[in-house]
């Protein structure tokens, strides 16, 4: 009988198993590598499209410091919460990726948009326009020529609408009690207040209104609820604006007195270089506006800027400035002086300055 011997299947070859394991490992590695590269490229593309925020270094030494700083470190704390409905505000000095305003030479400056570092907040008919025009002569200052009225009339438009400027003036802000809005924009903002004898200021205010609305009541009629009893009508804005001590109280709840500079409207006429020198000191810029920049215009009754290299003519304020005041009964003026006296004294004591309006 013949027998066929059937052989058993042996174990798999070790070399083949190693090859299969190597191929599997290589496949997983390639898959992971491709996935990582795709994600990385996508992130880079997003960064280029959206633009990564940058925190630039601030200016150098104070001697060469521009009032409009090119940049400041980012403030991670963000803005201080303000009144209900207030637009979101960037941290003080934080850059915004917008087109900046023109520099002093008129050439556009690209890169960042700046909120103002200083504001002329009042008072109406006190000399705010003169301060603004005089300070604009300084090469380290960029200031808006018109009044944007952002903090009173246009606040709802938001900070993105607000012009790129270093300094602006809206003289009605002080009496409208809007310190929280400025504080929310930047708690470091410097405030300039041009004050004037409140009686003279009220007459000037009335004179301006009368030129536009000749049918309004007389100054005496608007100033008093009962002139015989000496009851002054404080609801009339021309009277109320001159109650400086009353308005200042609300501002001092937000800003320290050291952050507010008071300009004398009277001394601005008699000594413009001296007053503007103190303004420049307050803003932390070099005293470049001096006596050589001014001459007294006898027709207008106040100083004007002399002609410069860029201007062939001297620069005076517009026709609406320096208009002749309406004649007021001297007894009315005396009554208003008595009314303002306690407010003036309290104002002197608060700011540490005697403006000698009595």
* 146-159 mean pLDDT: 72
123 preceded by cis ω (within 30°)? yes
Q: What is the mean pLDDT of the chain?
A: 74
Q: Binding site for 3'-phosphoadenylyl sulfate, residues?
A: 125-129, 196, 204, 321-325
Catalytically annotated residue among 113, 124, 125, 169 = 125
Alpha-carbon gap, residue 129 to 118, rounded angstroms: 15
Tens-place pLDDT, residues 49-67: 333 333 333 333 333 333 3
The two structure tokens encoding residue 96? 């915004």
Contacts with 113 (C-beta within 8 Å, 6 or more apart), sequence order? 95, 96, 97, 98, 99, 100, 164
Tens-place pLDDT, residues 159-209: 666 654 456 667 777 776 678 988 988 899 999 999 999 999 999 999 999
Contact call for residues 343 and 241 (beta carbons, < 8 A): no
Query: 3-state class of 151 per DSSP?
Result: coil
Q: 346 catalytic, yes or no? A: no
Beta strand 302-305 with 294-297: parallel, antiparallel or unpaired? antiparallel
Binned at pLDDT 50, 70 and 90, residue 241 comes out as very high
Q: Give every strand in the sheet of 167-169, ordered side by side.
A: 167-169, 118-122, 190-195, 260-264
């Amino acid at each position: 009988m013949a027998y066929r011997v059937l052989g058993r299947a042996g174990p798999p070859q070790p070399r083949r198993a190693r090859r299969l394991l190597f191929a599997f490992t290589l496949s997983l590695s390639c898959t992971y590598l491709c996935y990582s590269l795709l994600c990385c490229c996508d992130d880079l593309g997003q960064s280029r499209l959206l633009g990564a925020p940058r925190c630039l270094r601030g200016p150098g030494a104070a001697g060469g410091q521009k009032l409009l700083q090119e940049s400041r470190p980012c403030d991670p704390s963000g803005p201080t919460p303000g009144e209900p409905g207030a637009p979101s505000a960037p941290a003080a000095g934080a850059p915004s990726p917008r087109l900046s305003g023109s520099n002093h030479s008129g050439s556009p400056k690209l890169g960042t948009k700046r909120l103002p570092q200083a504001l002329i907040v009042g008072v109406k008919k006190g000399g705010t326009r003169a301060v603004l025009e005089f300070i604009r002569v300084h090469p380290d200052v960029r200031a808006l020529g018109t009044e944007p009225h952002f903090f009173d009339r246009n606040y709802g438009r938001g900070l993105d609408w607000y012009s790129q400027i270093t300094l602006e003036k809206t003289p009605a802000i002080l009496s409208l009690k809007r310190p929280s809005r400025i504080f929310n924009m930047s708690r470091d903002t410097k405030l300039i207040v041009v004050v004037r004898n409140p009686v003279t200021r009220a007459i000037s205010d009335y004179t301006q209104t009368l030129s536009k609305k000749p049918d309004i009541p007389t100054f005496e009629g608007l100033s008093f609820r009962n002139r015989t009893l000496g009851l002054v009508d404080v609801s009339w804005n021309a009277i109320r604006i001159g109650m400086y001590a009353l308005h200042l109280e609300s501002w001092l709840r937000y800003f320290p007195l050291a952050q507010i500079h008071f300009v004398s409207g009277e001394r601005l006429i008699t000594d413009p270089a001296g007053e503007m020198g103190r303004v420049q000191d307050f803003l932390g810029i070099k005293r470049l506006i001096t006596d050589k920049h001014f001459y007294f215009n006898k027709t207008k009754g106040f100083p004007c800027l002399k002609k410069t290299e860029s201007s062939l003519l001297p620069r005076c304020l517009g026709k609406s400035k320096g208009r002749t005041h309406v004649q007021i009964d001297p007894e009315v003026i005396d009554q208003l002086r008595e009314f303002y006296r306690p407010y003036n004294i309290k104002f002197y004591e608060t700011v540490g300055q005697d403006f000698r309006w009595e």
